[in-house]
C-alpha cells in the first residue's frame, strides 16, 4: 500500500521573485511503503494497545523531560523526531512557542466534545455529516464560526519565504475528498489514514484560520477509532516544536515528492515513544536510519 502526491508539488520561485505555489495533493495509491514503514506501523499499533501516556505527561516527554523517572533516555524522543537535515536548520522554537502547553489541551477538549459525532458520521458513511462535524470541531477550538476561505492564502516556509496555497476552489474540493476518505472505513489502516488526512487538511488549507488545529484533532480522532484511549491525545504541535524542523521537512517530502515513508515513521516513533517503549527503535531513528 502506498500513497502519492502530485509530483509537481511546489512550483519553485524563479529569479524574478515569483511567489511559489503549492498544488493540491492527490490522495491515491502509487508506490509501496517501505518494509521499515510497515514494521513501524505494526509497532505503533501495538503501542496504541499499551495506551500512550496522558496528555500532560506526553507534553513533558516530547520536550525531553522525564515523566516517571524510570525512562532510560528521557531526551531520546525529541531526538528521534528530528530529520537528518535538522542539523542545517538550527532554528529556535517557532514563533508560536508561546502557545506550547496550550494548543494540545484546547484541541483535546474540543475533540472530546465532537468524538461521538465524528464516530457517528463514520458509522453512517455520510461525508456531508462529516463535513458538518469538521466545521463544528474547528469552531469550538478557534472560538468563532469556521469560515471557508474564498480568496488566496499565503504561508511562510521554513526559509521564511511566502508560498501560495492551493486555490479556494481546489481547497473546497479537497476538503470534500477528505470527508469522503474519513467515512470510508475500508480505505486503509487507522494510522495511515490519520497521516494522509492530516497532510490533506494542511495542504488544502481550506479555512481562514485553524487548519493546523483541525488537522491535529482529526489525526487523533482517527487514531481513537484505531484503539487510542479517550483520555490520551498525541500532542503533535508540541512534538513539532521540539523536532527542529523534522516534522516540516517530512511533511513537504510527502506533499511534494509523494514519499510518505519518512512522515509515517515520524508519527510511529512519536506514538511508540509516548507509550514509553521501544527505546532501541527510537535510538535507531535518532541516527537517521529511515526509509
pLDDT of 177-197, one tens digit each?
999 999 987 768 889 999 999
* Per-residue confidence (pLDDT) for residue 282, from 0 to 100: 41
Q: Which CATH topology does 45-65+77-86+98-286 take?
A: Fic-like fold (1.10.3290)
Is residue 257 exposed (0-12), middle (13-18) or buried (19+ Cβ within 10 Å)?
middle
In the structure grid, which three cell numbers stand for residue 47, read together? 503501542
Question: How many Cβ atoms from other residues are within 10 Å of residue 265's Cβ?
Answer: 25
Instruction: With cut-offs at 50, 70 and 90, classify the pLDDT of residue 17.
Output: very low
What are φ and ψ of residue 163, in 5° steps?
-130, 130
Better-scored residue on pLDDT, 268 or 287: 268
* Residue 134: pLDDT over 50: yes
What mean pLDDT is predicted for residues 51-68? Answer: 71
- pLDDT level of residue 3 (50, 70, 90 thresholds): very low
Q: Please state the φ and ψ torsions of residue 50, each to the nearest 5 degrees.
A: -75, -15
DSSP letter for each residue of 38-101 = HHHHHHHHHHHHH-PPBHHHHHHHHTT--SSS--S-TTHHHHHT--GGGGG---PSPGGGGGTT
Task: Please give the pLDDT value at position 70.
Answer: 47
Q: Predicted confidence band at 157 (pLDDT cuts at 50, 70, 90)?
A: low
Give the pLDDT band (50/70/90) at residue 123: very high
- pLDDT tens for residues 22-35? 666 655 544 578 88
- What average pLDDT does the chain have? 79
pLDDT band per the 50, 70, 90 thresholds, residue 80: confident
Q: What is the DSSP string of the chain?
A: ---B--TT-EE---TT-PPPEEPPPP-B--SPPPHHHHHHHHHHHHHHHH-PPBHHHHHHHHTT--SSS--S-TTHHHHHT--GGGGG---PSPGGGGGTTTHHHHHHHHHHHHHHHHHHHHHHT-HHHHHHHHHHHHHHHHTS---B--S--EEE-TTS-EEEPPPHHHHHHHHHHHHHHHH-TTSS-HHHHHHHHHHHHHHH--BSS-HHHHHHHHHHHHHHHTT--TTB---HHHHHHTTTTHHHHHHHHHHHH---HHHHHHHHHHHHHHTT--HHHHHHHHTT---
pTM: 0.83
Taking the C-alpha atoms of residue 66 and residue 110, their distance in angstroms, rounded to an integer, is: 28
Reported as half-sphere exposure (CB side, CA atoms, 13 A), residue 192 has a value of 22
Residue 122 in this model has a pLDDT that exceeds 50: yes
Amino acid at each position: 500500500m502506498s500513497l502519492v502526491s502530485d509530483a509537481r508539488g511546489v512550483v519553485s520561485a524563479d529569479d524574478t521573485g515569483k511567489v511559489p505555489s503549492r498544488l493540491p495533493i492527490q490522495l491515491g495509491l502509487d508506490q509501496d511503503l517501505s518494509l521499515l514503514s510497515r514494521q513501524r506501523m505494526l509497532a505503533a499499533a501495538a503501542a496504541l494497545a499499551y495506551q500512550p501516556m496522558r496528555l500532560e505527561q506526553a507534553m513533558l516527554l516530547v520536550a525531553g523531560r522525564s515523566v516517571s523517572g524510570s525512562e532510560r533516555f528521557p531526551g531520546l524522543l525529541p531526538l528521534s523526531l528530528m530529520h537528518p537535515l535538522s542539523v542545517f536548520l538550527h532554528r529556535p522554537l517557532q514563533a508560536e512557542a508561546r502557545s506550547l502547553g496550550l494548543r494540545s489541551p484546547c484541541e483535546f477538549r474540543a475533540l472530546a466534545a465532537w468524538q461521538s459525532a465524528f464516530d457517528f458520521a463514520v458509522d453512517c458513511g455520510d461525508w456531508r455529516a462529516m463535513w458538518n462535524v469538521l466545521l463544528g470541531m474547528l469552531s469550538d477550538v478557534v472560538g468563532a464560526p469556521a469560515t471557508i476561505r474564498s480568496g488566496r492564502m499565503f504561508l511562510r516556509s521554513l526559509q521564511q519565504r511566502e508560498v501560495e496555497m492551493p486555490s479556494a476552489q481546489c481547497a473546497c474540493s479537497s476538503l470534500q475528498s477528505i470527508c469522503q476518505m474519513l467515512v470510508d472505513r475500508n480505505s486503509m489502516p487507522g494510522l495511515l489514514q490519520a497521516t494522509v488526512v492530516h497532510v490533506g487538511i494542511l495542504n488544502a488549507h481550506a479555512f481562514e484560520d485553524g487548519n493546523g488545529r483541525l488537522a491535529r484533532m482529526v489525526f487523533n480522532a482517527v487514531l481513537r477509532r484505531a484503539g487510542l484511549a479517550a483520555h490520551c491525545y498525541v500532542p503533535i504541535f508540541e512534538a513539532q516544536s521540539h523536532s527542529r524542523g523534522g516534522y516540516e521537512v517530512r511533511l513537504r517530502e510527502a506533499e511534494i515528492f509523494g514519499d510518505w515513508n519518512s512522515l509515517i515513521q515520524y508519527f510511529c516513533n512519536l506514538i511508540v515513544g509516548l507509550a514509553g517503549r521501544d527505546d532501541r527503535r527510537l535510538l535507531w531513528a535518532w541516527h537517521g536510519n529511515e526509509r
